[in-house]
Structure 1
């Protein structure tokens, strides 16, 4: 690739390298994709997205273990089981479960929150995250986050899962859940048809933040909500219809250890971003 190739061409090439089933094996979305039913995928995605931090392999084991007590049809199990019985059963099965900041108690509360929200809507979580008249996606997300802060136990793990975009948070795990559910392109689920895709903001993790600074998508030092929006707008200029299609490749360049963070020809020359990378 010539050094003068535009950024879009380089990012498209990066996507062609990472948009593969092999890369997806090390992504929490793979947990949701293992379920054939759309509503089961939503439940699995709701859990997987909010536990998606830390080392990938043990995180994936923790997510699968958190969902195991619900059997092969988690949404059906939650819908048919009375809340008191569900709480008792889940507490018993997840009593010893932990993943870093989260405990089994947190997972039980999270699953029962989905059950209550689904009972209200009759169709999962989409309607709870739809912007109202004159609102944007952040207003709707903030409203749900504030509600869950009031209703769920004030444990460290649950507060970690409830950042508010209107307070400046990047909301990486919520953004990832929304991308999975509302975006229709590979590898996402595209299960929600009413959520406005133009309201999606990139799920900003350390890998996306670092690579974005290296290639000039953002000059901000702090990975916060403003940085996430700045990167999203930069990508929107490259692909106005589907800017988040670059997210998977940008994040997996770091997740898979292919970006060392130091620009050296011996290790980086094969990367499509090498010629424009500002890492030193």
Structure 2
């Protein structure tokens, strides 16, 4: 099996970039606003059924980010989303309201070694510093800080998807951030992509973690060293092929 041609043909022959009301995706909301904080909200709530994610995000008036802590808590009193209570959601918005530029925070960590996980960790460090709120739902939503070991660490799937949106620029990704190399991005590895990559022979490692996400990304760099994450959707679509 010529994996590179298979992936390239998937990119060329299918409209896999198409997202619409009929084929919902949280990036629909992020594209509408093209704002780094709203995009992060869309990315971090992107777990579960896509239609329900979009339904939840559509209900939110993102102008609430400009209001007081008390107003934010009142606004979300009747909201909940899967593992997040109304307070988890409100506190996340309060955190985002308090924080400055996400891009500037990210670059602080990223520039050390051009490792995007360091950039994510710098943002998380600031999140936990400016808001002492903590709960299982809140921690699940924003993630735990990176402990310096790729093996056994979270693949940071939703964060890496957010970075794909922010850094790449094409039919779907809208490239708001200009100072990060596409070649440094890590594929947003979820269990579906993980399983399909094994079927395609792109990945042999059995553990679903950050190490596997990096290994898969490095394998894809053989096909395109400057933009390995462009194959993200192609792998996803190939996984929908029952004959794979």
TM range (shorter): 0.7 to 0.9
User: 1:154 is matched with which residue?
Assistant: 134
**Cα distance change on mapping 1:140 and 1:43 into 2, 3 Å:** closer
Alignment of 1:127 with 2:104, yes or no, is yes
Deviation at 1:8, TM superposition (A): 1.0
Give the TM-score normalised by structure 2: 0.86
**Which of residues 42, 48, 54 is equivalent to 2:48?**
54
- Number of paired residues? 234
Matches within 5 A, 1:92-107: 92-107=74-89
Deviation at 1:229, TM superposition (A): 0.3
Give the alignment's Cα RMSD to 1 decimal.
Answer: 2.2
Gaps in structure 1 of 5+ consecutive residues: 119-123, 260-266, 269-273, 275-280
- CA distance in 2 between partners of 1:195 and 1:48 (Å): 21
- CA distance in 2 between partners of 1:185 and 1:22 (Å): 13
Which structure has the greater CA radius of gyration? 1
Deviation at 1:115, TM superposition (A): 2.2
Give the TM-score normalised by structure 1: 0.76
Matches within 5 A, 1:206-221: 206-221=191-206
- CA distance in 1 between partners of 2:19 and 2:28 (Å): 10
8 Å CA contact 1:232, 1:244 repeated in 2? yes
**Which of residues 184, 187, 190 is equivalent to 2:169?**
184
**Which of residues 66, 88, 92 is equivalent to 2:70?**
88
DSSP 3-state at the match of 1:106:
helix
- CA distance in 1 between partners of 2:187 and 2:53 (Å): 21
Structure 1 residues 194-244: Cα deviation after superposition (integer angstroms, max 9, x where no partner) = 123222101111111111011011112221000000110011111111111
8 Å CA contact 1:185, 1:245 repeated in 2? no
Matches within 5 A, 1:1-280: 6-16=2-12, 17-22=14-19, 25-35=23-33, 38-39=34-35, 42-65=36-59, 67-68=60-61, 70=62, 74=63, 78=65, 81=66, 85-118=67-100, 124-130=101-107, 131-134=110-113, 136-150=115-129, 151-160=131-140, 161-165=142-146, 166-167=148-149, 168-254=153-239, 258-259=240-241, 267-268=242-243, 274=244
